[in-house]
Every structure is written in C-alpha cells, then in structure tokens.
Amino acid sequence: MGSASDDGFAGSKVPLNDIIRSMNRVYGLDISGYEPSFLIRTIERRLQATGCDSAASYLAERLLVDPSEAEVFSRSLRVGYSEFFREPLTFALLERQVLPDLMERGRMTGRTGLRVWSAGCAAGQEVWSVAILLDELLASADRLRAWRVFATDISESDLSLACAGVYPAAALGNVRLRHVDACFTRQGDCHTVAMRIREHVEFAVYDLLDTATACPPMCIFGDFDLVLCCNVLIYYRPDQRRRIIAKLLGCLAPGGYLVTGEAERRLMAQAGGVLEVAPPAPVFQATRR
C-alpha cells in the first residue's frame, strides 16, 4: 500500500492511501499494486474530466457516491493502448534472430511445435503481429507447423476485440503491404485476420497477478518458447512486477525467450534467471535449467 509520502496531490488533504483504502472498502477493488505515480496521473485525469477541483472532492463527491465513476476510474487503470509491430527494433529482432533460433532449436531437438504466450495482449495488435511473423516464417518449416499462440488480458472488452481480429486500415500503418495482402481479408475499411492464422491462436481472460495458477489454465502447462509481456510491468509497483516476472520466467521452456516493452528493460535487468540478449531491444533468454 502507498505511504502518505506517495501523495502527489499538491495542497490536497486526501492522501493517495485514502483513495486506495476507499476503493477497497466500498467497491472491494484492490488498486494498491499499481505504481503510485500512475495512480496519481490517472486520478488527476479524472479530476479534469469530472470538473472536481481537488482529490478530496473527487473522492467524497464522485468516487464514493457514484459506482459508475468508480467503474470508469478502474477501467482507466487498464491502459489498453497498443499498435501492430509496436517497438520496431524488438519485432525486427524477433523476426531475424529469436524466431529463427527457435526454429533451428526445434530442428535440432525434434520439438514439433512452438508455443507462444502474449500476456497483456490488449486489443490483439501484439498477438497478430507475432502470429503474422510465425505464419510467414513457419510456412516452409517441416516440423513446427503446430505453432500455438495463447493470448490473455485482464480486460474482457479488450480481449473480445483481440479475438474478433478486425481492424480499420488506419490501424495497419506499421504492417508491411505484403502482410496486409496475405494475412487479412478486406471488406470496405475492415481488415480481418485470415482464418489460417486465427486457427493457431487462443484467447482467455487472465490476471497476471493471479496467485492460484502458474500460467493461464487454457495452456495446461507453460513450457513456452516465447513469452511477450510488453508495456504491462510499468504500471505496477516493484513487488507486483517481481511477482509477474517470476510467473513469466517460470513458464518459459529452457532457453525460451521473454520479451518486455522497451520502457521495461531497466526493470527486467534486475531480474535473476535471464540473460539479456540484445540491448537496447528488451529481449531476454531464460538461463537453461
């Protein structure tokens, strides 16, 4: 839980702790795991949107008395911004080094499938980006045709967009033209991910902070060759980040790769059990067990 010194509201008599406690007491919602600076920024945006002049009045006059405001506030803590092939350096590394290495390893070890987890996939842009690369690279592979991507997010609404796999042309700005042509079907402005790619992908709601499971239940076991968890860790306090990182590393196959957001490279550098593969791209390889 944040301390009174985490209160970033200048001149306000409401420390962040009061808001955190109230959300828990009144709505049963534990927001104590989020980074205090992120909570403060989010609350400040809600002050502006609601016309409240202080955190005290926002808490007393809106948050505590209006469940719909509490709902909007909690939704705004789930930042769902994403893009296809976001962070181009990372995707270039995936395409040129990580996926070819996994394919080569598959050939050497006789492993017949490739397992990928996109954790915190938002509306699906990350899942489909990696699936597009796999579709192209593995089309000619003899063994690894059984590739599967598991895609999870805590937000049900984002996940249903991801699962639908339908995007306007404006969202495909970072997608190569040959991939747009080969990997989407088009109807007017709507681009839908091709069925042969969708067949390899499964979606499920999953909270990365869930303590009851070591990985999403639909995966049965982890053993992932590649886990992407990009731009999720930054929103959490260090202890929560460590829990998430431990879970992600625990799900990797020996020598498997973990990819985070560029902004999270520094956070990951402190995690044990991984080798940084190619700074500044935040790609890590699990030390072999």
Ligand X SMILES: C[S@@+](CC[C@H](N)C(=O)[O-])C[C@H]1O[C@@H](n2cnc3c(N)ncnc32)[C@H](O)[C@@H]1O
In the bound state with ligand X, the residue whose beta carbon lies nearer, of 103 and 267, is 267
The distance of closest approach from Cβ of residue 180 to ligand X in the complex, given in angstroms and rounded to an integer, is 19
Nearer to ligand X, 15 or 261 (CB): 261
The residue count of the chain comes to 289
CA torsion sign, 216 to 222 to 224 to 229?
Answer: positive
Choosing from 99, 130, 201, 208, the residue that interacts with ligand X (CB under 6 A) is: 208
Strands 184-187 and 274-278: unpaired
> Of 46 and 247, which has the nearer Cβ to ligand X?
247
Q: Quick one: which segment of 12-20, 60-68, 201-209, 249-257 binds ligand X (CB under 6 A)? A: 201-209
CA–CA separation, 242 and 244 (whole Å):
5
Q: Is 48 left (phi over 0), alpha (psi -120 to 50) or beta?
A: alpha
Among 130, 183, 230, 271, binds ligand X (CB under 6 A): 230
Do 186 and 212 form a contact (C-beta atoms < 8 A)?
no
Site string for ligand X, 152-171 (x = CB under 6 A): -xxx--x-------------
The letter for the amino acid at 104 is: E
Does residue 181 bind ligand X (CB under 6 A)?
A: no
Minimum CB–partner distance for residue 103 and ligand X (Å): 23
**Binding track, positions 13-52, relative to ligand X; x by CB under 6 A:** ----------------------------------------
Name residues whose C-beta falls within 8 Å of residue 268's C-beta, 6 or more positions apart in sequence: 233, 245, 258, 260, 274, 276, 282, 284
Which residues within the stretch 62-101 sit at the binding site for ligand X (CB under 6 A)? Answer: 78-82, 86
Distance in angstroms between the alpha carbons of the first and the last residue of the chain: 35
If the CB atoms of residues 16 and 31 are measured against ligand X, the closer one turns out to be: 31
- The rounded distance, in Å, linking the Cα atoms of 45 and 152 is 27
How distant is the alpha carbon of residue 187 from its chain centre?
29
User: How many residues at the interface with ligand X, by CB under 6 A?
Assistant: 21
Q: Which residues bind ligand X (CB under 6 A)?
A: 78-82, 86, 120-122, 126, 153-155, 158, 207-209, 230-232, 261
